[in-house]
Structure 1
């Protein structure tokens, strides 16, 4: 069954759920239309948010007042926090990473479609991002539903993909000579620890099963998926190029427009995301946490 906003109303009676697009994504409000206060949610409210996350993949909560401690505290209500292996957190909250682009910088963090840290043996279950300061225009984030992308394959391609595994690595992004190394002078606010450890590879299924819903999703992404296991290089390249293009087709996407105080959480087990870099000359400041996940299966 497809997990789209139109087909799976979540947390009815606890939250006011407003779809962002047909493929995925919702805004969550209090019943009656007022803003939620994530700092004062009880266990039932957090359970309703988790239900909405699994059903809609991306949840957006507007008009929040949060600092670093609040962001970390809210993230821990969903699980243990996962530190980024190549980015440092704040001095007060090491698990909270400030995502900043200054007006003079040209390269942003998270530009390009990707699945959060798929190069780890157990990639994060979810990511949460809080908007402290946003540009007057631009700086939106795109999301693509990988469960819908899987369902959009032909039956033949589904059978092929389900039998495959792929190698993932951080080398192209965080290895020596990789993207972060080459552009280090262009993203001064986002110091990245380039490391030889980024060359390590892990193997994940090309189609993963969501541990909470049982839904299947494509699990390959351009920055971190290096090759299909047990294929010749030209075969792997051709198949990955097709899957990468298919997985982010417009019909599988939604777009989040940020405002100061917007808090967004997304399910890394079922989405890719893309931080648009279309706000040069303006400042953007976000606070980010990731919640630990399990090994894809």
Structure 2
């Protein structure tokens, strides 16, 4: 029995509600754009039908910026996938080659601070369609780009479902860029989380591996390595992990209200008014397995809040 099924319950009787596609693709696009932050888990809307210019000759359905500062492009198909993945990757190539134009758009819509924090290590392609073929899903799995393929269905006039069919994390440094971009990015050298982990002691590496396993064991989450941290996500981030090489420790930012916990110096800190790399308002420092053990309740609370 495959796919999401919706049932209406009345007086002890259960009746299946048949889903349907929207009448027009533009209706789906307008719905998502008007509610993007809620429907796509923290993605802020930037532009619709964005022109890629006279040479590339295309229009990106929607552009956004997620909570990690990663560029997001969204492509929609009313019914079947109709090569929506290939179309999304086609536009991704343009986006990567035109970073300054995208950053200018972010500055106009969200301000200079948001533009300065755009993270190009994991730009996202989000495909939204009524269904996908097995060829689409296999092709997504073979890609080294970050891809989310979502299935939508409409039930009556007041219910829409979005179900994640496949999510591909992608790989660091996988995007092809032109010579001018390589020159611009060559200095200063940007270290990834993997680079930092290769320089820390064995105990910290073991601690990170254990933290990684426990975060993923919480449930349906997945991880994405970004430039400055590793984000662990459900619908939104529930943990952002940084490796502190000099301190030989890990720092986690959680989606937990600091006023609901008793803060302990050296372990937990309220960072609502402190600039930091990563999402979340509570900072937790992990320097030992004992720290990790006593942090598990906070990790579960953050996981639940990210649904």
TM-score if structure 1 supplies the norm length? 0.32
Structure number with the bigger relative contact order (C-alpha 8 A, sep ≥ 6) is 1
Q: Normalized against structure 2, the TM-score is what? A: 0.31
Name the structure with the higher helix share.
Answer: 2
